[in-house]
Amino acid sequence: MLRQCFDEFTRSSAYACFLISSTGIILRSNAVAAQMLGQGGDLLAGRNITQLTTTPAEMVVHYLKRCLQSREPVPGALCWQTDMPGREVDCYCHGHRLFISPAEKEPVLLLHCQLRERAANSFAALNQTLENLRVSHHKLIHKSNQLTNEILERKEVKKKLAESHERLTTVLDGLDAVVYVADMQTYELMFLNKYAIDILGITGSGVGQICWQTLQKDQTGPCSFCTNQRLVDAEGNPADVYRWEFQNTQNGCWYDIRDRAIRWIDGRIVRMEIATDITKRKKSEQVLEQKNAELENFTYAISHDLKSPIITIKGFLGSLVSDARTGDFERMEADVNRIAKAADKMQALLDDVLELSRIGRLVNPAAELSMTEAASEAIEDLAALIREKNAVVTVEADMPSVFVDCHRIREVMQNLIENAVKYSGSQAEPRVEVGSKVLADGQGAYFVKDNGIGIEPKFYDKIFGLFEKLDPHSPGTGIGLALVKRIIELHGGKIWVESTGQDHGSIFYFTLPRQQTVAED
Ligand code: ADP
């Protein structure tokens, strides 16, 4: 039974195992033991352990004794003889005392032996493992230190980034330009400077709102003019600054815009826009363009208009020479008259040109002018024409006064009344009425109404152009209404015409400031 148990438990053991009696007799051994000593198990059984070991017998006996007395396994070292003469094996052993049954007085010993060599190998392996562990541990500590440093560095970098970001936003806040930052995918606003918030009337910081909804008007989706595509290269990295000009759809102001994709503090690539208001410059450019166009028109018209009296003069000079040769004094006188008339026309044209060049500025300071008086004075100056046309001109008494360059507004009044009488056509009783009225929008206006030839609606704008005449054979240079419009607009007013058509008379309306707010040009 004991032997069976021993066999059972030691069969798969990696150690040499011996079952030994209290007197040192080997009762049983396992295959590893037989292999270690080079002898069959049956040859070992019955032999005293002291015969099989080269360790001095008294040390072996002492060791066995200690094992028999101890409850715990007792470590020791034994040197065994093998079947090869002179070859010994050194072992580490553990001796376990076993009581097989309470009835038995003498216990037996179970002896586990492990070759010192193999143990050494195991120790070496263990040592190696320990060394590896130690290295790994060291590496881990090193790595952990590195990580700690990296974390600290990152924290430092993050802090510095936050500081420089704050500095940037402070600078942007102080700019006199619209500055905003928006996510390029979601169009969400991430920053708006103070100027943008004020100028666009945004409530709160605007952050989180959608740029095309907040910064533009009537957009149903991302703006068709959005420059996002131009701000990144093919790989999606920030490209160069994109500069353009645009009139904001919300406030109507013109902006010189610089757009750029940048990396925002949270790592996102965002669009930053800096837009400087150039509305004034744009307006000046538009005025300049208009003036250039006017000048071109003017040059063309003046050269054209001056040509006809020159041709007339030249023609009659030729006939004057032949008159002189034939001595026809009567024809000479008629020729001279024609030449003089053509010269007068040239003079009138040149006077108008001079007038036009002076009209660019209001020369006289604004003063209060009674429009009733201005109209009456104009009628006095035009008395000859009015009489000639048999016209009746009436003026509303006590029309509201205006604050204007009085000289210029008298010119306006005179021009309009003169036209009203001049273009009476075949009207038997030409009537002209000068008055004032309050318009539907509450604004006060003045008017000059006639019952003359009238104006077709398609010419309402044209007649205010330079040298525009609806009838090329009518007297005049076609400059009067252009001057009138310019003067009215320089005062911040408006002028327009209404007529029910040809032969139904016309009404010229104009507005002027009634308080001291004349625009300085
Ligand atoms: P001018 O009278 O020297 O031709 P204006 O600039 O004063 O130049 O007028 C331009 C044109 O507008 C005139 O030639 C005429 O055809 C038309 N016009 C101006 N005033 C009237 C009016 N009261 N009724 C009809 N046509 C007018």
- Residue to probe by mutation, ligand 1, list 359, 463, 488, 508, most atoms within 8 Å of CB: 463
pTM of the full structure = 0.46
Least confident of 84-98, 192-206, 364-378: 84-98
In angstroms, what is the span from residue 470 Cα to ligand 1's centroid?
7
- Residue to probe by mutation, ligand 1, list 481, 483, 485, 497, most atoms within 8 Å of CB: 481
Ligand 1 atom 8 nearest Cα = 478
In angstroms, what is the span from residue 316 Cα to ligand 1's centroid?
30
In angstroms, what is the span from residue 472 Cα to ligand 1's centroid?
11
Strand order in the sheet with 26-29: 26-29, 16-21, 108-115, 88-98, 74-81
Residue 354 token pair: 């001079």
CA–CA gap between residue 353 and residue 343 (Å, rounded):
15
DSSP bridge pairs for 274: 179, 258
DSSP labels for 85-118?
TT-EEEEEEEEEEE---TT-SS-EEEEEEEEHHH
Non-local (6+) Cβ contacts of 355 within 8 A are: 479, 483
* 291, 482 contact by CB (below 8 A): no
Pairing between β-strand 74-81 and β-strand 444-450 as defined by DSSP bridges: unpaired
* Crossing angle for the helix pair 480-490 and 329-358, to the nearest 10 degrees: 20
In angstroms, what is the span from residue 5 Cα to ligand 1's centroid?
138
Ligand 1 atom 11 nearest Cα = 469
Non-local (6+) Cβ contacts of 520 within 8 A are: 362
Tens digit of pLDDT for each residue in 251-272?
A: 999 999 999 999 888 888 999 9
Tens digit of pLDDT for each residue in 320-362?
A: 999 999 999 999 999 999 899 889 878 877 887 777 677 655 5
- Using pLDDT thresholds of 50, 70 and 90, give the confidence band for residue 444: very high
* 91, 77 contact by CB (below 8 A): yes
Ligand 1 atom 14 nearest Cα = 469
Q: Note the pLDDT of residue 137.
A: 67
CA–CA gap between residue 94 and residue 18 (Å, rounded):
11
Q: Does residue 128 carry a pLDDT above 80? A: no
Q: Which of 242, 261, 264 is nearest to 190 (CA)?
A: 264
DSSP 266: T
In angstroms, what is the span from residue 466 Cα to ligand 1's centroid?
11
Residue 490 token pair: 């320089």
Q: Note the pLDDT of residue 115.
A: 82
Q: Which of 308, 296, 287, 312 is nearest to 477 (CA)?
A: 308
In angstroms, what is the span from residue 450 Cα to ligand 1's centroid?
12
Q: Does residue 521 carry a pLDDT above 50? A: no
* 243, 250 contact by CB (below 8 A): no
Tens digit of pLDDT for each residue in 48-71?
A: 999 999 999 999 999 999 999 998
The binding-site residues of ligand 1, defined as CB within 6 angstroms of any ligand atom, are 419-420, 423, 450, 452-453, 455, 463, 468-471, 474, 476-482, 506
